[in-house]
C-alpha cells in the first residue's frame, strides 16, 4: 500500500474546492491583472468543449460506453478543437490523414478514460486531496503546468511568469492565476483537471502495482523452464495421416462443436468483408500516340532557344511547372544516345518513352569540373536555424552577403570570426565553415557544389540556394578534372485522356448497374472472367483497403450498406465495383459465418477422438515409449535441447501442448496420450539440463516483477475495456 495519506479515504464525501478558490482564500485581496492578454494566448489551446453526453438518433451517436451515449456533434467539436490547435502550432498547416486519424483515436481514448477508468477510481476510494492539488498546480508546479507556460520556440517560460534565468517564478504564476476571469479562469481550471487526472492515474497505478509480486517458487520454476533445455522422446499420430473425407461428420457434430467452442468465435470488434472488381484507367494506344506527338512538338520548340527560353518552356510543359536542369557525369547520364558526349551545347534528344513519361532532353552546356574540391562557407539564411521560422527575406540575405564579401576582400573582417558570429549553418561552424573535400557525388545542392568544383583556388563568391545566400571561399581543387554535362529535361506524363477515362467509367457503371445484387455480381464476375479481390476484417474508420489507397468512402459505405449490396467507387486511376459480402457484428459470430472453420476443427476433433481411442486400446499397458511406438506401428522421435520458451518440436513445428506437457513431467516420466495441434502424442522427459550454479534468484525475481508492473497499466486498461460495453462508430466522425 502506498504511503500517500490521500490515496484511500472512503468516508470523505464533502465537496472539494478548486485551486483557484484556495489561492483566493490564502492571498486575500485581488491585485492588478498580470499579463492577462498573454495568459489568454498561452492557455487558449487548453479550452475545450465540455464532456456532455446525451442521446439522439442512431446517426447522431459517435458511440456508446457502458450505456452512455457519446453525442456525435460533441465529439466533432472536440475533434475540431484538436485540429485548430494543430493549425496554430503549425502556422496554419492542415492536418494530414494520419494526424486526423490520431486525433480521433486520442479523443475516443479520453472518453474511455472518463467513462471506464474514472468510475474505478471512485469504487476503490481514490481521491486527490485539496492540499496536494494546490501544491502541484501552484506552489511547486508539475512539469505539465510548466510546459503549458513555456514558449515552444524559445523553450523558455514566458517572461511574464519567469525569473531572470527563464525558469518559472511561482509568485508571478500565483498572481496571474489569482486574477484570471471568464474563459481564462476556465483554462486554469482545465489545467487543474489535467493535474488531478494525472494524480488519479498515478495513485491507481501505485495501488495496482503494490499488489503485484512474484514468489520465490514462481521465480525458480520460471528460471528452470526458461534456462533448462529438455531432452525428450515422443510418439505422435498426425492428423494428416487420416483424410478429412474419411471422417463422418453430422450436422449435430457441427452444432455441438460450435456451441462448445463459442468463445473461439467471439468477435470483439465489428468488421466488414468486401469483394471488389477493379476497372483500371490506363492510357489507350491513341492516348500514347497523341502524347508522343505533343512531346515531339516540345522537342522542336527547344531547338535553337536560349537557356532563359528553355526555362520558360520547361515551366509551361513540365508537370507542376518544374524547371529540371541537372549536372550529369557519364556514370549517371540519363540520355540514351552516346553522341551526347561529343555533341555541341543546344543538341536536343527525344522524345523517349520511359514508362510513365515521354522525356525530352537538351544539352545546355559542357563544363570542365574538378574531380574534387574543398570549400568553406558562411550561410546567410532566410530561416532561423533553430526554429525554422523566417528571419529575413532573400533580398535582405543577398544584401548582407554582398556587404560581408566586401569586408572580406578588403581584409576588414576575418572569415573564421564571421562564421562563428553570423553563419546560419550550425553544421559547419565548429570547423570554420569547412566541409572538407567532396566530389560530384556529394549530396550538396548544385549551386553550392559547383561553386567549388568549377571554381579556382582562392576565389570567393556569393551563391544563391533555397536556404539563402552562401559566401563560398574555394580552399583547393584537385588537379584532375572531368566533363560535366548540364542537361535540361521536359517530362510529358503518359496519362489516359478524358475520353478513355469516360469509357472505363461507362463500363464500370454498366457492370454495377446491371449486377446490383450479390448473386448477379458473382455470376457476372465469373462470366466476364473478372478477378475478384478481397478486403476482409475491415474495421469502422479504416482508411485503407489492401491494394487501394484512400478508400475511406468504401469503408464508410460498408458500414451503412446491407449485406449483398453493390456500389461503384471512383479513384484517380481506377473505378471499383464493390460488394458487401459479410457483416460481422460484435458478439458471437453466427454459425453460418464461421461454418467452414467449425467444420475443419470439428473434423480434427473427430480425428483426435479416434486416435485417443487407438492409443488407449493398443498401448494402454505400455511401460516404455518404445513399446508405445511398437504397438501403434510407428517410430519414436527424439529431440535434445527442446526449449520451453519459443521452442519448436522437430517434425511438428510449433506444438505447445507437447512442450508444456514435457515441462510438467519429472525426469524419466512418460505422459498419457495428449491431444495437440498437429496430432495425438505421448511424450517422455528423458532429462532437463540444469540451469547452472550460483543463480541470483532475487535479481531474477525483481526482473520478473518489473516486467509484470510494466505491463500492468496496459493490461488493466484493456481488461477494463474488455468487460465494458463499448461501441465506436468511427466512420461517422471524419
Residue-wise DSSP of 698-725: HHHHHHHHHHHHHHHHHHHHHHHHHTS-
What residues contact 586, with CB distance under 8 A and at least 6 apart?
267, 268, 269, 270, 727
Mean pLDDT across the stretch 574-601? 93
Looking at the predicted structure, is the pLDDT value of residue 44 above 80?
Answer: no
Q: Please state, in angstroms and rounded to a whole number, the distance separating the CA atoms of residues 715 and 511.
A: 49
Q: pLDDT value at position 183?
A: 64
Mean pLDDT across the stretch 652-659? 90
Backbone angles phi, psi at 136, to 5 degrees: -75, -25
Looking at the predicted structure, is the pLDDT value of residue 656 above 60?
Answer: yes
Q: Are 484 and 327 in contact (CB under 8 A)?
A: yes
Which of 704, 705, 734, 321 has its CA nearest to residue 556?
734
Distances in Å between the alpha carbon of 287 and those of 284, 499, 731?
5, 9, 39
Q: Please state, in angstroms and rounded to a whole number, the distance separating the CA atoms of residues 171 and 600.
A: 73
Mean pLDDT across the stretch 476-504? 94
> In the structure grid, which three cell numbers stand for residue 557, read together?
459505405
Q: pLDDT value at position 10?
A: 36
pTM equals 0.61
Q: Please state, in angstroms and rounded to a whole number, the distance separating the CA atoms of residues 605 and 467.
A: 70
Beta strand 230-238 pairing with 324-328:
unpaired
Q: Please state, in angstroms and rounded to a whole number, the distance separating the CA atoms of residues 493 and 356.
A: 6
Strand order in the sheet with 574-584: 533-539, 271-280, 574-584, 566-571
Q: Please state, in angstroms and rounded to a whole number, the distance separating the CA atoms of residues 99 and 534.
A: 27
66: left (phi over 0), alpha (psi -120 to 50) or beta: left
What residues contact 142, with CB distance under 8 A and at least 6 apart?
136, 195, 198
SS (H, E, C) 25-56: HHHCCCCCCCCHHHHHHHHHHHCCCCCCCCCC
SS (H, E, C) 387-455: CCCECCCHHHHHHHHHHHHHHHHCCCCCHHHHHHHHCCCHHHHCCCCEEEEEECCCCCCHHHHHHHHCC
Q: What percent of the chain has pLDDT over 90?
A: 47
> In the structure grid, which three cell numbers stand for residue 480, read together?
584532375
Looking at the predicted structure, is the pLDDT value of residue 47 above 50?
Answer: no
End-to-end CA distance of the chain: 44
Give 12's pLDDT tier (boundaries 50, 70, 90).
Answer: very low
Which of 458, 463, 460, 462 has its CA nearest to residue 447?
463
Q: pLDDT value at position 52?
A: 31
Q: pLDDT value at position 113?
A: 86
> In the structure grid, which three cell numbers stand for residue 528, read together?
466476364
Mean pLDDT across the stretch 651-680? 93
Q: pLDDT value at position 708?
A: 87
Kindly state the helix (H) or strand (E) to which residue 363 belongs, with its residue range: strand 357-370
Strand order in the sheet with 348-353: 324-328, 481-493, 357-370, 348-353
Give burial (CB, 10 Å; 0-12/13-18/19+) of 587: exposed
Looking at the predicted structure, is the pLDDT value of residue 357 above 50?
Answer: yes
Q: pLDDT value at position 18?
A: 55
Looking at the predicted structure, is the pLDDT value of residue 11 above 60?
Answer: no
Give 46's pLDDT tier (boundaries 50, 70, 90).
Answer: very low
Mean pLDDT across the stretch 355-362? 94
Kindly state the helix (H) or strand (E) to which residue 280 belongs, with its residue range: strand 271-280
> In the structure grid, which three cell numbers stand for residue 277, read together?
472488381
**How many Cα atoms within 13 Å fall on the side-chain side of residue 189?**
15
Q: Please state, in angstroms and rounded to a whole number, the distance separating the CA atoms of residues 382 and 385.
A: 9
Q: Please state, in angstroms and rounded to a whole number, the distance separating the CA atoms of residues 560 and 577.
A: 16
Beta strand 61-65 pairing with 726-728:
antiparallel
Kindly state the helix (H) or strand (E) to which residue 274 belongs, with its residue range: strand 271-280
Q: pLDDT value at position 469?
A: 94
Mean pLDDT across the stretch 152-180? 79
Looking at the predicted structure, is the pLDDT value of residue 355 above 80?
Answer: yes
Give 531's pLDDT tier (boundaries 50, 70, 90).
Answer: very high
Q: Please state, in angstroms and rounded to a whole number, the distance separating the CA atoms of residues 695 and 644.
A: 19
The residue written with cell numbers 482545465 in the block is: 190
Give burial (CB, 10 Å; 0-12/13-18/19+) of 512: buried
pLDDT in tens, 543-556: 788 889 888 899 98
Kindly state the helix (H) or strand (E) to which residue 328 belongs, with its residue range: strand 324-328
Which of 579, 476, 584, 480 has its CA nearest to residue 532?
579
Give 33's pLDDT tier (boundaries 50, 70, 90).
Answer: very low
What residues contact 604, with CB distance under 8 A and at least 6 apart?
239
Q: Please state, in angstroms and rounded to a whole number, the distance separating the CA atoms of residues 19 and 142.
A: 14
CB atoms within 10 A of CB 18: 19
Give 177's pLDDT tier (boundaries 50, 70, 90).
Answer: confident
Q: What is the mean pLDDT of the chain?
A: 85
Beta strand 68-71 pairing with 587-588:
unpaired
The distance from CA 214 to its chain's CA centroid, rounded to whole angstroms, is: 35
Q: pLDDT value at position 653?
A: 86
Which of 201, 198, 155, 182 has its CA nearest to residue 43?
182
pLDDT in tens, 188-223: 777 888 888 888 888 888 888 888 888 988 887 777
**How many Cα atoms within 13 Å fall on the side-chain side of residue 266?**
7
Looking at the predicted structure, is the pLDDT value of residue 36 above 50?
Answer: no
Residue-wise DSSP of 172-194: HHHHHHHH--HHHHHHHHHHHHH
Looking at the predicted structure, is the pLDDT value of residue 727 above 90?
Answer: no
Q: Please state, in angstroms and rounded to a whole number, the distance separating the CA atoms of residues 440 and 458.
A: 20
Give 29's pLDDT tier (boundaries 50, 70, 90).
Answer: very low
Mean pLDDT across the stretch 166-189? 78
The residue written with cell numbers 570547423 in the block is: 431
What residues contact 205, with CB distance under 8 A and at least 6 apart?
712, 713
More confident residue, 168 or 318: 318
Amino acid at each position: 500500500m502506498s504511503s500517500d495519506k490521500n490515496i484511500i479515504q472512503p468516508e470523505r464525501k464533502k465537496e472539494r474546492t478548486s485551486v483557484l478558490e484556495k489561492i483566493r482564500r490564502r492571498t486575500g485581496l485581488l491585485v492588478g491583472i498580470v499579463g492577462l492578454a498573454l495568459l489568454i494566448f498561452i492557455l487558449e489551446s487548453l479550452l475545450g468543449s465540455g464532456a456532455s453526453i446525451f442521446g439522439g438518433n442512431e446517426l447522431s451517436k459517435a458511440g456508446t460506453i457502458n450505456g452512455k451515449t457519446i453525442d456525435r456533434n460533441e465529439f466533432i467539436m472536440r475533434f475540431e478543437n484538436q485540429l485548430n490547435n494543430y493549425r496554430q502550432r503549425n502556422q496554419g498547416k492542415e492536418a494530414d490523414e494520419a494526424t486526423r486519424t490520431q486525433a480521433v483515436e486520442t479523443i475516443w481514448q479520453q472518453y474511455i478514460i472518463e467513462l471506464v477508468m474514472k468510475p474505478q477510481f471512485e469504487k476503490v476510494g481514490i481521491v486527490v486531496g485539496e492540499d496536494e492539488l494546490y501544491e502541484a498546480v501552484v506552489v511547486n508546479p508539475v512539469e505539465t503546468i510548466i510546459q503549458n507556460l513555456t514558449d515552444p520556440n524559445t523553450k523558455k517560460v514566458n517572461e511574464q511568469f519567469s525569473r531572470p534565468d527563464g525558469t518559472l517564478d511561482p509568485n508571478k504564476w500565483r498572481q496571474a492565476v489569482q486574477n484570471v476571469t471568464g474563459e481564462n479562469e476556465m483554462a486554469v481550471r482545465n489545467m487543474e483537471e489535467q493535474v488531478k487526472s494525472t494524480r488519479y492515474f498515478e495513485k491507481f497505478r501505485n495501488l495496482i502495482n503494490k499488489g503485484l509480486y512474484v514468489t520465490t517458487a514462481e521465480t525458480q520454476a520460471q528460471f528452470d523452464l526458461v534456462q533448462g533445455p529438455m531432452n525428450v522422446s515422443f510418439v505422435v499420430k498426425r492428423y494428416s495421416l487420416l483424410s478429412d473425407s474419411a471422417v463422418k461428420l453430422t450436422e449435430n457434430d457441427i452444432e455441438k462443436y460450435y456451441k462448445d467452442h463459442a468463445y473461439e468465435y467471439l468477435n470483439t470488434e465489428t468488421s466488414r468483408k468486401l469483394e471488389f472488381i477493379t476497372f483500371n484507367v490506363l492510357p489507350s494506344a491513341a492516348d500514347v500516340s497523341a502524347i508522343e506527338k505533343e512531346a515531339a512538338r516540345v522537342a522542336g520548340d527547344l531547338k535553337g532557344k536560349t537557356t532563359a527560353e528553355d526555362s520558360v518552356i520547361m515551366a509551361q510543359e513540365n508537370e507542376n511547372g518544374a524547371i529540371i536542369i541537372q549536372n550529369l557525369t557519364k556514370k549517371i547520364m540519363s540520355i540514351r544516345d552516346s553522341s551526347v558526349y561529343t555533341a555541341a551545347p543546344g543538341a536536343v534528344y527525344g522524345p523517349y518513352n520511359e514508362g510513365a513519361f515521354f522525356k525530352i532532353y537538351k544539352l545546355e552546356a559542357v563544363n570542365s569540373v574538378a574531380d574534387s574540391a574543398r570549400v568553406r562557407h558562411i550561410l546567410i539564411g532566410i530561416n532561423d536555424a533553430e526554429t525554422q521560422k523566417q528571419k529575413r527575406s532573400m533580398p535582405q540575405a543577398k544584401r548582407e552577403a554582398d556587404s560581408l564579401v566586401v569586408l572580406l576582400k578588403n581584409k576588414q573582417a576575418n572569415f573564421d570570426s564571421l562564421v562563428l558570429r553570423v553563419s546560419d549553418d550550425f553544421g559547419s561552424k565548429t570547423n570554420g565553415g569547412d566541409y572538407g573535400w567532396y566530389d560530384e557525388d556529394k549530396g550538396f545542392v548544385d549551386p553550392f557544389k559547383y561553386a567549388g568544383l568549377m571554381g579556382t583556388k582562392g576565389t570567393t563568391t556569393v551563391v544563391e540556394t533555397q536556404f539563402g545566400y552562401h559566401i563560398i571561399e574555394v580552399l583547393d581543387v584537385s588537379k584532375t578534372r572531368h566533363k560535366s554535362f548540364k542537361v535540361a529535361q521536359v517530362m510529358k506524363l503518359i496519362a489516359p485522356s478524358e475520353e478513355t477515362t469516360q469509357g472505363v467509367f461507362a463500363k464500370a457503371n454498366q457492370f454495377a448497374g446491371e449486377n446490383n445484387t450479390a448473386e448477379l455480381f458473382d455470376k457476372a464476375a465469373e462470366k466476364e472472367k473478372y478477378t475478384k479481390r478481397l478486403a476482409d476484417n475491415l474495421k469502422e474508420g479504416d482508411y485503407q483497403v489492401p491494394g487501394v489507397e484512400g478508400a475511406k468512402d468504401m469503408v464508410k459505405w460498408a458500414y451503412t450498406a446491407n449485406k449483398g449490396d453493390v456500389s461503384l467507387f471512383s479513384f484517380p486511376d481506377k473505378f471499383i465495383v464493390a460488394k458487401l459480402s459479410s457483416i460481422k457484428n460484435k458478439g458471437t459470430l453466427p454459425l453460418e459465418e464461421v461454418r467452414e472453420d467449425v467444420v475443419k476443427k470439428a473434423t480434427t476433433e473427430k480425428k483426435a477422438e479416434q486416435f485417443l481411442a487407438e492409443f488407449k486400446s493398443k498401448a494402454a499397458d505400455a511401460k516404455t515409449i518404445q513399446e508405445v511406438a511398437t504397438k501403434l506401428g510407428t517410430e519414436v522421435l527424439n529431440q535434445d535441447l527442446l526449449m520451453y520458451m519459443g521452442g519448436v518440436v522437430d517434425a511438428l513445428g510449433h506444438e505447445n501442448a507437447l512442450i508444456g506437457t514435457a515441462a510438467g513431467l519429472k525426469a524419466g516420466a512418460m505422459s498419457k496420450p495428449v491431444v495437440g495441434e498437429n496430432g495425438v502424442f505421448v511424450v517422455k522427459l528423458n532429462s532437463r539440463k540444469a540451469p547452472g550454479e550460483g543463480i541470483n534468484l532475487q535479481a531474477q525475481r525483481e526482473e520478473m516483477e518489473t516486467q509484470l508492473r510494466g505491463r500492468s497499466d496496459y493490461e488493466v486498461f484493456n481488461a477494463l475495456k474488455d468487460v465494458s460495453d463499448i461501441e465506436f462508430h468511427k466512420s461517422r466522425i471524419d
